[in-house]
Amino acid sequence: METQRSRGTVRTCDWTEHKAPRTATMTRLRRKALVALFLFTLFIFGTMMGLRTLKPSDGFSDMAPGMDFTGERSDRRRLDVKDVAVSPGQFHMGSSDTKVVFTKSDRDYSIFYDVHIFYYLWYGSPSMDNKYIHWDHVLVPHWDPKIAASHAQGKHTPPEDIASSFYPELGPYSSKDPKVLESHMAQIEAAAAGVLVLSWYPPGVADDHGEPMEDLVPAVMDAAHRHSIKVAFHIQPYKGRTDQSMHDNIKYITDKYGKHGAFYRFRSSTGQVLPLFYVYDSYLTPPESWAELLTAKGSHSIRGTPYDGIFVALIVEERHKHDILASGFDGMYTYFASNGFSFGSSHQNWKAIKAFCDANNLLFIPSVGPGYVDTAVRPWNNHNTRNRVNGRYYETSLQAALSVRPEIVTVTSFNQWHEGTQIEKAVPKKTVTRLYLDYQPNQPDHYLELTRQWAENFNKEKDKWLM
């Protein structure tokens, strides 16, 4: 104890002896700190004043993937404010070259051109089309007569009974309605999805339950452009689709829409800037036929021509990845929003698919969705239903996609109401014969908000990957 007290005394004496010089040293350090802080403050003030002198378009480029125009070089170009028809505001490029950030009404928001969303243009209503189209979809019978006999048959009878398990806020609308198109683009913009992937059939051709709709595409392009949204094409498996007819389709789309401000082009890893096309049910055409179109030595190859593009095939089964490679496609996507429905749509397989794509210089574009329920059109298919769980299913899908570090992610879907994959606004609805699902306890825009939150997170993560 005495030793400890002695040591304590020694320490006290040492501190007292050196107190004056230490105080002087601390005073000098404080002065230096104050000077440094003053200089730093001047620097920040000067920088801010300098930035305020920049014009609204300074530092802004629209060279997100898919935002070049025909004939442009791969170097970036500035975006004139007139190129984006948005209400008055300032525009500048974000930290990622895949997004545009808008400042409007003192609020920043972004849209991201690496978030693509599938969009359907096949709906009709009596006010615009003299009848309901697709909302009255038939109940598709099962291929096994015994199973089919145990389920309801016939057609839906709108407006109270529609071919969906959810009910749209806009009601059973027409895709021709300009007000509907404007609402849709505003919702997609709110969701921060920069590319609308339009389900497309050639002129005069339609799906089995709809009518030709190619003449509506210009209105979609114009509406999208007003919201700075780009449009890519999702080529459907119409009757008679071949590699040769696809050549004609690509030429038609590029010639007709290629110069439109909303036409989407993607910058590849090699620096090429080309239109991007999704090809649904690509496996229906054999690889050797696709190779005639999509490889350099094909008999009617589009490679190296004005009609070249980035072509993305659908992977359903595991073997399809080898077929896709042999066909000459540039990448693959999974489309289906039902985890476990197919090899391609199963989250657990995405890491292996991404590794295969990386090894073969292919794009892997996983597709995510908020849920899946198609029993309003396929009453026997309830085993593939995936409940939304108030958004948790969607968040799980989004996280699975992010974990494989994709270049692009697709959302299935904005408005595929038949399969219950829509993120479009839906409302509660009860009739004498139907009780529709809804987004409660959340608001009608819940899935738009979730999409935006995730898109912002996706791009923050991509910035980290590139560091």
Of 267, 293, 260, 300, whose CA–CA distance to 279 is shortest? Answer: 293
pLDDT at 55: 30
Structure tokens belonging to residue 395: 């968040």
Structure tokens belonging to residue 51: 């930035």
> In this structure, which amino acid lies at residue 12?
T
The larger pLDDT score, comparing residue 278 to residue 84, is at 278
* DSSP run (H or E) holding 218: helix 217-226
For 134: left if phi > 0, alpha if psi spans -120 to 50, otherwise beta; the answer is left
pLDDT at 466: 74
Using one digit for the tens of pLDDT, what is the confidence trace for 300-357? 999 999 999 999 999 999 999 999 999 999 999 999 999 999 999 999 999 999 999 9
pLDDT band at 464 (very low <50, low <70, confident <90, very high): confident
Phi, psi of 116 (to 5 degrees): -110, 145
Name residue 96's beta-bridge partners: none
pLDDT band at 51 (very low <50, low <70, confident <90, very high): very low
Q: Does 10 score more than 70 pLDDT?
A: no
Contact 196, 188 (CB under 8 A): yes
* DSSP run (H or E) holding 199: strand 193-200
Q: Does 3 score more than 80 pLDDT?
A: no
Contact 302, 288 (CB under 8 A): no
Q: Does 127 score more than 90 pLDDT?
A: yes
Over residues 111-130, the mean pLDDT reads 97
Give Cα separations from 105 to 87, 109, 437 (angstroms). Answer: 10, 10, 35
Tracing tokens 């609204």 back to the chain, one arrives at 56
Burial of 338 (0-12, 13-18, 19+ CB in 10 A): buried
What angle separates helix 320-327 from helix 350-359, to the nearest 10 degrees?
30
> In this structure, which amino acid lies at residue 458?
F
pLDDT at 25: 56
- Is the torsion defined by CA of 13, 16, 19, 20 positive or negative? negative
pLDDT band at 79 (very low <50, low <70, confident <90, very high): very low
Contact 184, 168 (CB under 8 A): no
pLDDT at 108: 59
Using one digit for the tens of pLDDT, what is the confidence trace for 167-221? 999 999 999 999 999 999 999 999 999 999 999 999 999 999 999 999 999 999 9
> In this structure, which amino acid lies at residue 281?
D
Q: Average model confidence (pLDDT) for the chain? A: 84
Phi, psi of 332 (to 5 degrees): -145, 150
Q: Does 72 score more than 70 pLDDT?
A: no
Of 79, 48, 51, 50, whose CA–CA distance to 63 is shortest? Answer: 79
Give Cα separations from 244 to 166, 214, 238, 252 (angstroms). Answer: 39, 20, 13, 13
Using one digit for the tens of pLDDT, what is the confidence trace for 138-165? 999 999 999 999 998 999 999 999 999 9
* DSSP run (H or E) holding 193: strand 193-200
Cα distance between residue 424 and residue 189, in whole Å: 12
Q: Does 103 score more than 50 pLDDT?
A: no
Four-CA torsion 147, 149, 151, 154, nearest 10 degrees: 130
Over residues 11-17, the mean pLDDT reads 37
Over residues 379-389, the mean pLDDT reads 96
pLDDT band at 44 (very low <50, low <70, confident <90, very high): low
Contact 223, 304 (CB under 8 A): no
Structure tokens belonging to residue 347: 């989250």
pLDDT band at 39 (very low <50, low <70, confident <90, very high): confident
pLDDT at 82: 30
Structure tokens belonging to residue 224: 């999208």
Contact 239, 272 (CB under 8 A): no
The full 3-state SS of 99-152, as one line of letters, equals EEEEEECCEEEEEEEEEEEEECCCCECHHHHCCCECCCCECCCCCCHHHHCCCC
pLDDT band at 465 (very low <50, low <70, confident <90, very high): confident
> In this structure, which amino acid lies at residue 268?
S
Burial of 110 (0-12, 13-18, 19+ CB in 10 A): middle
Q: Does 13 score more than 90 pLDDT?
A: no
If one counts every other C-beta atom within 10 angstroms of the C-beta of residue 126, the result is 13
253 contacts: CB under 8 Å, gap ≥ 6: 200, 233, 275, 277
Of 46, 109, 72, 39, whose CA–CA distance to 259 is shortest? Answer: 72
Give Cα separations from 367 to 76, 94, 156, 212, 399 (angstroms). Answer: 29, 24, 29, 26, 12
pLDDT at 45: 55
